């Protein structure tokens, strides 16, 4: 009689080159889209209205790329990060073919790097995760690295392999799933400001704040079938360091993106996640604000209808983004800063 | 470099005759219907089961008219009421062609009246809002008036224009989207009492109470893409007059309507919103009750299968509706009364 | 003018042989499935991904049988248990044809037993409830018995009729809606352990715990259109014995089932509910754990691809299932035990 439960993988269970097929293919439906709207209040026209999406040459409302990311990410948790100490970062996130309601998402990961920490108790695991639809087409891929416990501290350290981490996703690697053929309706989109109007270095305070409740972040995180224990179990977390359940960082990404509508309404589609860090934990009761900086304004080869903006969006807790809080004089993140997110959006041109 | 965020309109930004096209067309799906049921517990058979709707000659389950109203209303908030001090009332609400899952809703408003207040700091803006589907057909229209701040108190007052506010929607203006051709199944509908059984002046206590949580009203209000700040930001509201987030009044309307099933189960469809006031604020933790009075029983021209009831439904907080609380001897609303709602429902006849 | 509200039935309103048609046929949609995932975090592959379901010969993702049960159960509450003192038990629960999004569920009950209690104030009502789809096909049937108040204590006692309560559902009575024709993908299903690997008497701790919030259990219970007052009204319950709203027991069943994925991932489908008791109440703030025991391992006549496991799954509150808490030396349930559930699942064979 063998133990039937899944203990998750420990540091010594990973080998470079290992391929991991994650469980539970997940069909995304209109129900998920409605919940996503209800949980974050996103208002971008492309992912909100079928008629708007059709006017941009898509067959219907695409699933928000961040929802795709969360579902794929959730699948990897039982295999990659169930015994993780910390989510260290991600990079090179790129969205592939758009996802529509009815598509079934699955995920696989390849271990691309390993480095045991000097304390001998933990190590860093680097994986490249690929999400696919039911036709095997790539819908998202990204690299992430996590610090994972060793099961046995006496287990020998593996050879250190640190992968070349991708920088910002190259403009040639972006998928542009929509096109502007006629007049683009900035009124229906919610802002007169299009790609041409943004300047590199420009900072935008997104003004509004949103308080998060326990029920909300747990409903969202379960929707993504993300099983990380710290989000759900007050009986255990109440005894822990924080005394509270931790909010899944992806909730903050989606909330910041929804808030960014006020100032970036024409950023219709997230095409890439260049990198990101969850710089401080968030808990129920926190009010999340966001501000953004335009890091780059990029022409897309062969396209004059749509351009790309590389953005940094910073989310804060219980502090307005009006003065663009980021780091202190010591170079460390301000305690109010909970997310520093580097990503690329697609925006119609004039 | 221009400010990219939307400050909302101030009193002096409005002119009589102005047409405002609101942003973010929104496709309503089965996901929205499930959330609506989950948030309010509505049990009316016509909007709950496709087979029941088909037995009344509809092609499938229609979207609850109040959900249509909330979505259209939500679209108007960034343009009309972002700088509002108070929602003063609405009138003349009329539902047009029924909405089905898959339809995309959009909204426009016309400014039909303006009146600066004597304090010179605020003014009342009257708008007529029209919601349409993707074919441009009217799905709902209504008048509302809000008190809005002036940006600059020295700005000159506009000419006062007070529109003729519609009274109850005329019986000839009601759309009746279903018909009873064979036997109407009162058992499946949940009550033996049909149009013929109600008397003008009759009062009905709907008995049950429902407590509202923060997560619930915020999930609902975001589902409607309603961005009014007071509902979402505890960090700011905690410092304000109430110390708490305010619940969107529409949530109370929908909750009262759901509670009214117990006593009005055959009121299958809301055809008109004649008027309504949110007479006291509601907050998370409040338990909502409701009672109704039959204001009028109306025959629909040319129809013997379906009649109309004009109802007043009153919602209370933390007080049962058993003794029909409404106003005190001073003519003011009882502090427990949070909604006084005048609307017209369609009900099969015997 | 008659009272229009439904008082629910009292003990003396029931007669053996009585047929009750419950109100509000309910169309199940993709929206309900998304909410079910979001509320419990279920990860079983068959009910999560259309492509997986299709690989097992089904036309698409079936609706989780427990969701079907909750919806049918919810319909019976206004007629059977609105005046109930206690839900005493259920037995003989059997799932019929699978339900798919778009199906409309309705419910009828037959009174099959009555026994007045010796105190003369209450009695036990036994009903057999049948849920059907819009084609009249049975989707679930079960027996439950509840203790119901008498309206008039002087009303004469009816003849006592105690029905033969079904034991475990017979293996010949199970519907097996899927088949394994090619290779069954245990990796996508989330566990290498199939029917052959489980032993009678084997106990499995499902490890994880999930804390329940007020908003979550109310959203779920309203989704099922279950109107039992104790779940919703803090204004009244705050004055009652518990001082709090009670969580609908079905939420605990679904949560325990979702937690059981860790250890029973291949238990793709619940085919029968043999019996179950809610042994202690649960409230918001409780953290639910679960463990299971294999009661029986059964071959299905004529099938070598799929077998059945009869399971006992026990849910606990605020106590881990690691040491399999159940009863004390006095034979009474441990205060932490909230559910003792006996059911039969279908699992692929090697």
Planar angle of CA B133, B135, B140, nearest 5 degrees: 30
**Which residue, C123, C109, C94, is CA-closest to C275?**
C94
* Distance (Å) from the alpha carbon of B105 to chain A's nearest alpha carbon: 8
Helix (H) or strand (E) segment spanning residue A124? strand A122-132
Using the beta-carbon criterion (under 8 Å), do A37 and B4 form an inter-chain contact? no
Tell me which residue in B24, B30, B236 faces A43 most closely, judged by beta carbons. Answer: B24
The whole-angstrom separation of Cα B129 and Cα C304 is 64
Q: How far is CA C265 from CA A105, B43, C235, in A?
A: 18, 35, 41
DSSP A272-322: EEEEEE--S---TTPEEEEEEEEEEEEEPTT-SSEEEEEEEEEEEESS-ST
> Average pLDDT for residues A259-286, to the nearest whole number?
97
- Say what the pLDDT of residue A86 is: 81
Strand-pair category, C104-116 with C122-132: antiparallel
Q: Closest chain A residue to C219 measured between Cα atoms?
A: A215
Q: What digits encode the pLDDT tens for the residues B318-337?
A: 999 999 999 999 999 999 99
Q: Is B140 on the interface with A (CB under 8 A)?
A: no
* Distance (Å) from the alpha carbon of B168 to chain A's nearest alpha carbon: 32
- Say what the pLDDT of residue B1 is: 60
Instruction: For chain C, give the secondary structure using H, E and C.
Output: CCCCCCCCCCHHHCCCCCEEECCCCEECCHHHHHHHHHHHCCCCHHHCCHHHHHHCCCCCCCCCHHHHHHHHHHHHHHHHHCCEEEEEEEEEEEECCCCCCCCEEEEEEEEEEEEECCCCCEEEEEEEEEEECCCCCEEEEEEEEEEEECCCCCCCCCCCECCCCCCCCCHHHCCCCCCCCCCCCHHHHCCCCCHHHCCCCCEEECCCCEECCHHHHHHHHHHCCCCCHHHCCHHHHCCCCCCCCCCCHHHHHHHHHHHCHHHHCCCCEEEEEEEEECCCCCCCCCEEEEEEEEEEEEECCCCCCEEEEEEEEEEEECCCCCCCCCECCCCCECCCEEEEEEEEEEEECC
The whole-angstrom separation of Cα B29 and Cα A41 is 16
Identify from B210, B212, B317 which residue to disrupt to test chain C contact, counting C C-beta atoms within 10 A and taking the largest count.
Answer: B210
The whole-angstrom separation of Cα C272 and Cα C294 is 15
Using the beta-carbon criterion (under 8 Å), do C219 and B216 form an inter-chain contact? yes
Q: What digits encode the pLDDT tens for the residues C130-147?
A: 999 999 999 999 999 999
| A 95-124: CB under 8 A from B | 101
**Secondary structure class of B155 (helix, strand, coil):** coil
> Average pLDDT for residues C150-176, to the nearest whole number?
94
**Cα dihedral value A191, A193, A198, A203, nearest 10:** -30
Counted residue by residue, chain C has a size of 350
Using the beta-carbon criterion (under 8 Å), do C222 and B32 form an inter-chain contact? no
**Secondary structure class of B31 (helix, strand, coil):** helix
List chains adjacent to chain B, taking adjacency as at least 3 C-beta pairs closer than 8 Å.
Answer: A, C
For chain A, how big is the Rg over CA atoms in Å? Answer: 20
Using the beta-carbon criterion (under 8 Å), do C35 and A30 form an inter-chain contact? no
* Average pLDDT over chain A, rounded to an integer: 96
List chains adjacent to chain C, taking adjacency as at least 3 C-beta pairs closer than 8 Å.
Answer: A, B
- Say what the pLDDT of residue A167 is: 85
Using the beta-carbon criterion (under 8 Å), do C197 and A2 form an inter-chain contact? yes
Q: What digits encode the pLDDT tens for the residues A83-126?
A: 888 888 889 999 999 999 999 999 999 999 999 999 999 999 99
Tell me which residue in A38, A39, A202 faces B1 most closely, judged by beta carbons. Answer: A202
More confident residue, B83 or C265: C265
Using the beta-carbon criterion (under 8 Å), do B209 and C219 form an inter-chain contact? no
Q: What digits encode the pLDDT tens for the residues B10-62?
A: 999 999 999 999 999 999 999 999 999 999 999 999 999 999 999 999 999 99
The whole-angstrom separation of Cα C350 and Cα B6 is 61
Token output for C199: 């032993």
Using the beta-carbon criterion (under 8 Å), do C29 and B33 form an inter-chain contact? yes
> Average pLDDT for residues A185-204, to the nearest whole number?
98
Q: How far is CA A251 from CA A63, A219, A255, A325, in A?
A: 16, 10, 6, 20
Angle in degrees, 0-180, between the axes of helices A249-259 and A214-223, rounded to the nearest 10: 100
Token output for B157: 């007052």
* Distance (Å) from the alpha carbon of A269 to chain B's nearest alpha carbon: 14
**Cα dihedral value B296, B300, B306, B310, nearest 10:** -20
**Which residue, B214, B212, B220, is CA-closest to B317?**
B212
**Secondary structure class of B204 (helix, strand, coil):** strand
| C 199-228: CB under 8 A from A | 199, 202, 204-211, 213-216, 219
> Average pLDDT for residues C72-93, to the nearest whole number?
91
Token output for C107: 């419910």
Counted residue by residue, chain B has a size of 350
* Average pLDDT over chain B, rounded to an integer: 96
Whether the per-residue pLDDT at B172 is higher than 70: the answer is yes
| B84 burial type by CB count under 10 A (0-12 exposed, 13-18 middle, 19+ buried) | buried
Helix (H) or strand (E) segment spanning residue A210? strand A210-211
**Which residue, A94, A331, C229, is CA-closest to B211?**
C229
Q: Closest chain B residue to A212 measured between Cα atoms?
A: B215
pLDDT-based confidence at residue A252 (cuts at 50, 70, 90): very high
> Average pLDDT for residues C22-47, to the nearest whole number?
98
Q: Closest chain A residue to B228 measured between Cα atoms?
A: A208
The whole-angstrom separation of Cα C317 and Cα C8 is 32
Planar angle of CA C149, C151, C155, nearest 5 degrees: 105
**Which residue, A22, A23, A5, A229, is CA-closest to C263?**
A5
Q: Hey, how many other C-beta atoms are within 10 angstroms of the C-beta on A131?
A: 26
Q: Hey, how many other C-beta atoms are within 10 angstroms of the C-beta on B58?
A: 19
Tell me which residue in B32, B52, B264 faces C25 most closely, judged by beta carbons. Answer: B52
Using the beta-carbon criterion (under 8 Å), do C37 and A225 form an inter-chain contact? yes
First-to-last C-alpha distance (Å) of chain B? 67
Q: Closest chain A residue to B108 measured between Cα atoms?
A: A188
> Average pLDDT for residues B188-202, to the nearest whole number?
98
Q: Which residues contact C178 (CB under 8 A, 6 or more apart)?
A: C46, C53, C56, C57, C58, C268, C269, C306, C346
Token output for C124: 């036990």
- Say what the pLDDT of residue C1 is: 60
- Say what the pLDDT of residue C251 is: 98
Q: What digits encode the pLDDT tens for the residues C193-240?
A: 999 999 999 999 999 999 999 999 999 999 999 999 999 999 999 999
Q: What digits encode the pLDDT tens for the residues B84-141?
A: 888 888 899 999 999 999 999 999 999 999 999 999 999 999 999 999 999 999 999 9
Q: What digits encode the pLDDT tens for the residues A122-178?
A: 999 999 999 999 999 999 999 999 999 999 999 999 999 999 988 899 999 999 999
Whether the per-residue pLDDT at B344 is higher than 90: the answer is yes
DSSP A216-249: HHHHHHHHTT---GGGT-HHHHTTSSSSSPPPPH
List chains adjacent to chain A, taking adjacency as at least 3 C-beta pairs closer than 8 Å.
Answer: B, C
The whole-angstrom separation of Cα B266 and Cα B349 is 10
> Average pLDDT for residues B274-292, to the nearest whole number?
96
Identify from B2, B7, B8, B31 which residue to disrupt to test chain A contact, counting A C-beta atoms within 10 A and taking the largest count.
Answer: B31
Angle in degrees, 0-180, between the axes of helices B65-76 and B249-259, rounded to the nearest 10: 180
The whole-angstrom separation of Cα B212 and Cα C310 is 40
Tokens 């909100």 belong to residue: A48
> Average pLDDT for residues A191-205, to the nearest whole number?
98
Q: What is the DSSP letter of B319?
A: S
Whether the per-residue pLDDT at B2 is higher than 80: the answer is no
Identify from A4, A38, A132, A217 which residue to disrupt to test chain C contact, counting C C-beta atoms within 10 A and taking the largest count.
Answer: A4
Q: Is B2 on the interface with A (CB under 8 A)?
A: yes
Domains and CATH numbers, chain B: 15-152+170-348 (3.10.129.10)
**Which residue, C192, C224, C198, C152, is CA-closest to C344?**
C198
- Residue C343, φ and ψ in degrees, nearest 5: -150, 170
Using the beta-carbon criterion (under 8 Å), do B49 and C6 form an inter-chain contact? no
Q: Which residues contact C330 (CB under 8 A, 6 or more apart)?
A: none
Q: Is B293 on the interface with C (CB under 8 A)?
A: no
Could you tell me if C86 and C92 are in contact, meaning their C-beta atoms sit under 8 angstroms apart?
A: no
Whether the per-residue pLDDT at A62 is higher than 70: the answer is yes
Tell me which residue in C29, C232, C235 faces B34 most closely, judged by beta carbons. Answer: C29
Using the beta-carbon criterion (under 8 Å), do A225 and C48 form an inter-chain contact? yes
Q: Is B48 on the interface with C (CB under 8 A)?
A: yes
* Ramachandran bin of B113, using left for φ above 0, alpha for ψ from -120 to 50, beta for the remaining angles: beta
Tell me which residue in B6, B21, B106 faces A262 most closely, judged by beta carbons. Answer: B6
**Secondary structure class of B315 (helix, strand, coil):** strand
* Interface predicted TM-score (ipTM): 0.97
- Say what the pLDDT of residue A246 is: 95
* Average pLDDT over chain C, rounded to an integer: 96
Q: How far is CA A80 from CA A124, A144, A294, C39, in A?
A: 11, 10, 33, 24
Helix (H) or strand (E) segment spanning residue B254? helix B249-259
A-C C-beta contacts closer than 8 Å: 139
Could you tell me if B300 and B169 are in contact, meaning their C-beta atoms sit under 8 angstroms apart?
A: no
First-to-last C-alpha distance (Å) of chain A? 67
Whether the per-residue pLDDT at A1 is higher than 70: the answer is no
Tell me which residue in C102, C216, C233 faces B211 most closely, judged by beta carbons. Answer: C233
**Which residue, C18, C20, C21, C22, is CA-closest to C113?**
C18
* Distance (Å) from the alpha carbon of A156 to chain B's nearest alpha carbon: 48
Tell me which residue in B26, B32, B215 faces A215 most closely, judged by beta carbons. Answer: B215
B-C C-beta contacts closer than 8 Å: 140
């Amino acid at each position: 009689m063998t133990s039937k439960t899944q203990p998750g993988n420990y540091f010594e269970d990973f080998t470079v080159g290992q391929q991991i097929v994650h469980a539970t293919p997940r069909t995304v439906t209109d129900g998920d889209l409605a919940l996503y709207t209800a949980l974050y209040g996103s208002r971008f026209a492309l992912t909100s209205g079928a008629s708007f999406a059709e006017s941009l040459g898509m067959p219907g409302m695409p699933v928000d790329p961040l929802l795709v990311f969360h579902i794929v990410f959730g699948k990897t948790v039982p295999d990659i990060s169930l015994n993780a100490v910390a989510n260290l970062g991600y990079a090179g996130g790129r969205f592939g073919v758009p996802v529509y309601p009815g598509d079934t998402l699955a995920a696989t990961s390849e271990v691309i790097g390993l480095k045991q920490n000097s304390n001998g108790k933990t190590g860093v695991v680097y994986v490249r995760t690929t999400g696919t639809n039911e036709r095997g087409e790539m819908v998202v891929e990204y690299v992430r690295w996590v610090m994972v416990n060793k099961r046995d501290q006496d287990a020998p350290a593996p050879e250190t392999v640190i992968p070349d981490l991708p920088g910002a996703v190259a403009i040639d690697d972006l998928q542009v799933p929509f096109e502007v053929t006629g007049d683009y309706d900035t009124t229906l989109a919610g802002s007169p400001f299009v790609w041409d109007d943004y300047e590199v270095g420009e900072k935008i305070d997104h003004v509004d704040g949103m308080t998060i409740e326990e029920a909300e972040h747990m409903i969202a995180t379960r929707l993504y079938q993300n099983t990380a224990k710290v989000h759900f179990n007050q009986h255990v977390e109440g005894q822990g360091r924080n005394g509270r359940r931790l909010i899944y960082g992806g909730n903050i990404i989606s909330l910041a993106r929804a808030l960014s509508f006020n100032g970036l309404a024409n950023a219709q589609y997230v095409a890439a996640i260049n990198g990101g860090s969850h710089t401080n934990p968030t808990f129920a009761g926190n009010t999340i604000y966001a501000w953004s900086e335009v890091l780059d304004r990029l022409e897309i080869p062969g396209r004059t209808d749509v351009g790309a903006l590389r953005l940094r969006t910073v989310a804060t807790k219980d502090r307005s983004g009006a003065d663009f809080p980021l780091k202190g004089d010591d170079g460390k993140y301000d305690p109010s800063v909970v997310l520093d997110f580097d990503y690329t959006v697609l925006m119609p041109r004039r």
